[in-house]
């Protein structure tokens, strides 16, 4: 893994080492360390543990917006955005590249 040392202006190679588990033990390898980091930084979404604030946010995000300027995207709008996508950019989390989107059968027919 690389990071840039901004003070020195150069890249350094770092090794992710051990972290302390909740029971006090240390992680044994990189895989365990990454698992612990993921558990800590991306906890499970549990509605039963929501604070009042989180309940309000969850409620607002599950209801569709109801405003005069909120309308569905047209196929033409989507096509124009996709045409501007850079084929050389990395794929998204879903593994779909811009090039795949651009060759979408749905958009070709519309």
List pLDDT tens digits, range 42-60. 878 888 989 999 999 989 8
Residue 14's pLDDT is: 65
Residue 110's pLDDT is: 54
Residue 73's pLDDT is: 85
pLDDT (tens, 9 = 90+) of the chain, 110 residues, equals: 445 555 666 666 666 678 899 999 999 988 898 889 888 888 788 889 899 999 999 898 888 877 878 788 888 888 888 888 888 888 777 788 888 877 776 666 65
Alpha carbon distances (Å) from 58 to 47, 62, 90: 9, 6, 31
Backbone region of residue 68 per phi and psi (left: phi > 0; alpha: psi in -120 to 50; beta: other values):
alpha
Comparing CA positions, the residue from 48, 47, 50, 27 lying closest to residue 38 is 27
Residue 62: count of CB within 10 angstroms of its CB:
7
Q: Please, which residues have CB within 8 angstroms of residue 75's CB and are 6 or more apart in sequence?
A: 107, 110
Rounded Cα distance, 47 and 65, in Å: 22
Residue 25's pLDDT is: 94
């Amino acid at each position: 893994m690389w990071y840039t040392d901004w003070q020195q202006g150069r890249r350094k190679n770092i090794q992710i080492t051990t972290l302390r588990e909740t029971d006090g033990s240390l992680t044994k390898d990189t895989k365990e360390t990454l698992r612990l980091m993921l558990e800590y930084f991306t906890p499970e979404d549990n509605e039963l543990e929501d604070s009042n604030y989180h309940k309000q946010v969850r409620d607002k995000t599950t209801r569709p917006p109801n405003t005069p300027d909120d309308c569905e995207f047209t196929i033409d709008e989507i096509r124009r955005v996709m045409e501007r996508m850079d084929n050389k950019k990395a794929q998204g989390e879903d593994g779909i590249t811009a090039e795949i989107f651009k060759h979408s059968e749905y958009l070709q027919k519309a």
